[in-house]
Structure 1
Amino acid sequence: MAPRAFVSFEMEDRWARDFLVQQAKDKNNDISFVDYSVQDPFDSSWKTECKLRIARTKGTIVLVGPTTYKSEAVLWEIAETVRQGHYIFGIQINRDKTHSIPAGLPAKNVVRWDFDQIIKWLSTWV
């Protein structure tokens, strides 16, 4: 069974999260994603809720788009993942562009969009 992952993304890149979820359904594997999205970021309970959601996972997948590097929410989710000692990797969401990597996400842990590569990363989360 595949490990549970928290998916961190900028709201403008929601399409990439939706595409990742759909690819998991379309491919012949045991990977599925549960939507832990916070609908009201930065309300009074946002960080508390995110801490709990991250804690229920083995790690975080960061979808790296054009403005991800400056998203306060994504930067906080990366820091919280690291604080909890969980696994983390990123995916460049555009095949033909390389976007700035957010602080706290190691560049060596960022891959191009390739579902087989994503599965390989997830398989290291034991």
Structure 2
Amino acid sequence: MAPRAFISFEMEDQWARNFLSQQAKDKNNLIEFVDYSVKNPWDTSWKTECKIRISRTRGTIVLIGETTWQSDAVLWEIAESNRQGHFIFGIQVSSTATYRVPAGLPSTSVIRWDFDQIVQWLGTWT
């Protein structure tokens, strides 16, 4: 069974989170993403909820789109994942553009969208 992952993304890139989840269902593998998204991200308790949800996972996948680098929520989720000592990697959501990597996410831990490579990275979370 693959480890659970928290998926951090800017709301404008929700399509990418949905696509990643669908790819996991369509491929013949053991990858399944559990939706840990906070439904009301700007509710006063969202950080508390995120801390709990991140703690229930082995690591964080950051979906990197055009404005991800400036998202306060994504930056906080990266910092919290690092604070908890979790694994973390990023995925560029565009096949033709390379977007700025958010602070706290090492550029050496960013890959292009390739589901087989995503599975490989998750396999290192032991």
TM range (shorter): over 0.9
Q: Show the counterpart of 2:118.
A: 118
CA distance in structure 1 between the aligned counterparts of 2:2 and 2:12, rounded to whole angstroms: 27
User: Is 1:12 aligned to 2:12, yes or no?
Assistant: yes
**Cα distance in 2 for residues equivalent to 1:75 and 1:65:** 13
Question: For structure 1, which segment, 64-73 or 35-44, has the greater mean C-alpha deviation from structure 2 after superposition?
Answer: 35-44
User: Partner of 2:75 in structure 1?
Assistant: 75
Where 2:62 maps in the other structure, the secondary structure is: strand
CA distance in 2, matches of 1:22, 1:65: 19
Q: Which amino acid in 1 is paired with 2:6?
A: F
Instruction: State the one-letter code of the partner of 2:24.
Output: A
1:45 maps to 2:21:
no
Letter in 2 for 1:42: W
**SS of equivalent residue, structure 1 residue 90:** strand
C-alpha separation in 2, matches of 1:69 and 1:17: 17
1:21 is aligned to 21
Say if 2:90 is the partner of 1:102.
no
Which deviations, in whole Å up to 9, do the C-alpha atoms of 1:49-102 show, x marking residues without a partner? 000000000000000000000000000000000000000000000000000000
TM-score (norm: length of structure 1) = 0.99
- State the alpha-carbon separation in 2 of the partners of residues 58 and 35 from structure 1: 14
Q: Which runs of 5+ in 1 are unaligned?
A: none
Q: Secondary structure at the match of 1:19?
A: helix
Q: CA RMSD in A?
A: 0.4
Worse-superposed segment, 38-47 or 51-60: 38-47
- Helix, strand or coil at the partner of 2:63: strand
**1:42 CA drift (Å):** 2.3
